Amino acid sequence: MNLILLGPPGAGKGTQAQELARRRGLVQLSTGEMLRAAVKAGTEVGREAKAIMETGGLVSDEIVIRIIADRLMQPDVANGFILDGFPRTLAQAVGLDTLLDRLGRKLDCVIELKVDDKVLVDRITGRFSCAKCGAGYHDIYQKPKKEGVCDSCGSTEFSRRADDNPETVRNRLMAYYRETAPLIGYYFAYRKLHGVDGMAPIGEVAAALDKVLNTVAGQ
């Protein structure tokens, strides 16, 4: 199963992709995570991406398509993948089509997580993650079971993203409406688009996603 999770910043793409990957034996491919790793490692890509990410703009299509192309050629994605945060522009969507054709693979579905703008800033500014394994949490909506201890790996070190502040979130949201929202029409025309209510609690969103994927798998 190869799928895309679409939605604005804070819609829950990463939260759901992480769990879905675990439940279904898929690989989560988050361009945001890959770019943050490149920034941390100080690579050429990271140096180019850093300033853009800090303002909430979009990194160049050429860079992200190259990153995804390299990743899709690795053997661990053979069983299926979840694209989280890619594609984000029409050029990236067309680039992905070309890439999948070349690899003899296809997209099974695209799921749009539908969320009202008013909850996004709240979700993003309350977000933190385990510094060791990357498991995602929220100050109110997704606390670790034991305060200060990661549910997944037991680490006690957490971190917050540099771009998770109200001003950058507004820029990221603008970039979403300008560049990414048109992809909803693109994938609707593709007959691959499904919508899921991303306003529901995390467990209910996960159940709705499973329902969609079961339907797609049975087609």
Active site residue 22: no
Please, what's the b/e burial string for 70-85 (b: 16 or more CB within 10 A of its CB; e: otherwise)?
Answer: ebbeeeebeeebbbbb
209 binds ligand AP5 (CB under 6 A): no
Do the Cβ atoms of 3 and 107 come closer than 8 Å? yes
Active site residue 66: no
Measured from the CB atom, the residue of 38 and 193 that comes closer to ligand AP5 is: 38
Site for ligand AP5 (CB under 6 A): which residue of 26, 27, 29, 35?
35
194 binds ligand AP5 (CB under 6 A): no
Which x/- pattern over 154-193 shows residues binding ligand AP5 (rule: CB under 6 A)? ------------------x---------------------
6 binds ligand AP5 (CB under 6 A): no
Write down the catalytic residue from 24, 50, 66, 88: 88
Site for ligand AP5 (CB under 6 A): which residue of 26, 93, 135, 142?
142
Handedness of CA 49, 99, 14, 114 (dihedral sign): positive
Q: In whole angstroms, how close is the CB of 195 to ligand AP5 at the nearest point? A: 14
Write down the catalytic residue from 105, 161, 170, 192: 161
Active site residue 13: yes
Active site residue 123: no
29 binds ligand AP5 (CB under 6 A): no
95 binds ligand AP5 (CB under 6 A): no
Catalytic site positions: 13, 88, 127, 161, 172
Residue ranges binding ligand AP5 (CB under 6 A): 7, 9-15, 31-32, 35, 52-53, 56-59, 64, 85-86, 88, 92, 123-124, 126-127, 136-138, 141-142, 172, 198, 201-202, 205
